[in-house]
């Protein structure tokens, strides 16, 4: 067991070196299993203490820009098979937990009548995920959405609108079902 951990640690350090040499901005050590970054390496920034599990894909498309298109905050864990797809700006806060098989994007495609699907223009709006957000397995976060700090997104949910801090949202499309206890008392104080 210890030998397996040593080998996996070596592989992760090798991946850090490899992706850093391609231009990914790693601000400290990042635990990386077998991930995929197909192109635009210099458009990705990952803070120290993050963990990216097997088959995580970080994809940046469109024109290069001066700031990162994908930014992942310190201490965030992204589970297996999750896909982050950015064309202008997709940011994930610190200490988030993203379940397996999630899809998070900042764009979709147009629907012009005379163009085939792959020639449709991208329609993009920044997507922001706050700090300490928990996103359940197979959730989808669509373009232009902001998820506030400490929010919870239920497994299998499709988030099409902003979710405020401390909210628990579930369903397709996701709807707020309640707030975490601390946030509930803050909200009731503001109402009085």
Residue positions annotated with a catalytic role:
109
- Please answer whether residues 117 and 95 qualify as being in contact, where contact means their C-beta atoms are separated by less than 8 angstroms: no
- Please answer whether residues 100 and 75 qualify as being in contact, where contact means their C-beta atoms are separated by less than 8 angstroms: no
Q: What are phi and psi of 73, to 5 degrees?
A: -75, 165
Strands across the sheet with 127-129, in order? 25-27, 44-47, 70-72, 90-92, 127-129, 146-147
- Please answer whether residues 140 and 159 qualify as being in contact, where contact means their C-beta atoms are separated by less than 8 angstroms: yes
- Please answer whether residues 157 and 171 qualify as being in contact, where contact means their C-beta atoms are separated by less than 8 angstroms: yes
């Amino acid at each position: 067991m210890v030998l397996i951990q040593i080998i996996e640690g070596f592989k992760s350090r090798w991946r850090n070196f490899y992706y850093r040499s391609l231009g990914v901005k790693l601000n400290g050590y990042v635990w990386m299993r077998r991930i995929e970054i197909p192109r635009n390496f210099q458009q990705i920034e990952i803070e120290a203490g993050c963990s990216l599990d097997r088959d995580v894909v970080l994809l940046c498309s469109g024109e290069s820009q001066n700031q990162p298109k994908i930014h992942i905050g310190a201490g965030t864990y992204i589970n297996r098979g999750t896909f982050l797809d950015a064309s202008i700006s997709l940011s994930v806060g610190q200490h988030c937990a993203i379940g397996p098989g999630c899809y998070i994007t900042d764009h979709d495609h147009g629907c012009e009548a005379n163009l085939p699907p792959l020639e449709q223009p991208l329609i993009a709006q920044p997507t922001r995920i706050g700090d300490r957000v928990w996103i359940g397995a197979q959730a989808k976060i669509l373009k232009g959405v902001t998820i506030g700090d400490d929010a919870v997104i239920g497994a299998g949910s499709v988030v099409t609108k902003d979710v405020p801090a401390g909210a628990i949202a579930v369903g397709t499309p996701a709807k707020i079902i309640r707030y975490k206890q601390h946030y509930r008392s803050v909200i009731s104080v503001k109402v009085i």
